[in-house]
Amino acid sequence: MKEKKYYSQVAYLVKAILVIIVIGVTFFIITQFSDKIAQEISIKLRKNLVVIEYIMNGIFGIIAFGSIALILLRGKPRVTLSDTTLRTNRFKKDFIELKTYHPSKGGSEPYVISHDGKQYDIELSWFSKKDQKEIEAFIKERVATA
């Protein structure tokens, strides 16, 4: 079998966009609170402490942009299968290194266990049902024969 790649559906892109929107709205709310905090401190100390607001906004901005970068750089879930190898975004294993395959049960993700006892999750929930069935059937067959 030539190497075959499976890519996630559009649902993953929608999830990423929604998470980025939530991060943006959260950042907006935090900036509003930091403005109020800076005003309260300035009134109590009778000094203009706008620097506190800028520092708080800067810290939360760095956290927000870091979160967005992490989401975008992580990439869409992808599974690549060949006769000898199973590759996802998180790991690459030869089928001879894998001991057992465990299908998903009740909303959990399927996973494989290697001979050294480590569990590797395969994020199949982002793929179409047809692709999920193809991937699971191929992995079952290859793990059983390896």
Task: State the pLDDT confidence band at 18, using cuts at 50, 70 and 90.
Answer: confident
Mean pLDDT taken over the chain: 85
Answer with the residue of higher pLDDT: 11 or 41. Answer: 41
The arithmetic mean of pLDDT across residues 74-100, rounded, is 87
Do residues 144 and 137 make contact, with C-beta atoms less than 8 angstroms apart? no
pTM: 0.64
Do residues 120 and 114 make contact, with C-beta atoms less than 8 angstroms apart? yes
Pairing of strands 85-88, 98-102: unpaired
Which residues, at least 6 apart from 135, have a Cβ–Cβ distance to it below 8 Å? 6, 79, 81, 122, 124, 127
Buried-state track 134-143, b at ≥16 Cβ within 10 A, e below 16: bbbebbeebb
Return the amino acid letter for 132: Q
Do residues 104 and 123 make contact, with C-beta atoms less than 8 angstroms apart? no
Predicted confidence at residue 1, as pLDDT, reads 64
Predicted confidence at residue 104, as pLDDT, reads 81
The answer on pLDDT for 74 being more than 80 is no
Q: What does the alpha-carbon distance between residue 101 and residue 112 come to, in Å, rounded to a whole number?
A: 4
| Residues paired with residue 114 on neighbouring β-strands, in sequence order | 98
Predicted confidence at residue 46, as pLDDT, reads 81
